[in-house]
Amino acid sequence: MSERTLFTRIIEGEIPCYKLYENEHVFAFLDINPLSKGHTLLVSKEPAPSIDQLSPDSAAAIGKALPILSHAIKEATGAIAYNIIQNNGREAGMTVPHVHFHIIPKYAESKHSFTWEPESLDTSEGKTIVDAIRLSLNE
Ligand code: AMP
């Protein structure tokens, strides 16, 4: 059996956390290094290392829990907005390889930002990549 992840150990109560919510498929708790007050992690109980490897049942449960939790966090904190961030793979900033979503409240005084430098989509590259992804979707 592969080694249990940090989040599995939290879910199973071996490591303490500020738990917010739990059902058959998901578990939510406060991030230990929050970007803002109420920064929450919504974790699948299934220890998939990235979202493309998550089962349909776990994915559906995450999809169902995200708006409910986001609403509760917004209402309880008085946040004016929030970001939902989800990293997959170390190169994408994932530090715990177990599917999780960050819900990060934003306040008028918040300083954190998520910036990137977009480029214009090249039309021939757009067509090539769309064809490739559509092919992959049909497999
Ligand atoms: P990521 O970089 O997307 O993999 O996010 C992992 C998150 O897990 C980080 O924001 C960490 O602060 C958070 N984290 C790590 N250990 C714990 C812990 N013991 N309790 C709560 N959050 C944690």
What pTM did the predictor assign?
Answer: 0.96
Q: What is the mean pLDDT of the chain?
A: 97
Residue 94 CB less than 6 A away from ligand 1: yes
What's phi and psi for 74, nearest 5 deg?
Answer: -60, -45
Which mutation among 39, 41, 104 tests ligand 1's pocket best, with the greatest number of atoms within 8 A of CB?
Answer: 41
What integer is the mean pLDDT of 80-101? 98
**Res. 54: pLDDT tops 80:** yes
| Model confidence band, residue 1 (pLDDT cutoffs 50, 70, 90) | low
Query: Is 100 labeled as catalytic in the residue annotation?
Result: yes
How far is ligand 1, taken at its centre, from the CA of residue 40, in Å? 10
Domains of the chain: 6-138 (3.30.428.10)
User: Tens digits of per-residue pLDDT, 3-23?
Assistant: 999 999 999 999 999 999 999
How far is ligand 1, taken at its centre, from the CA of residue 12, in Å? 16
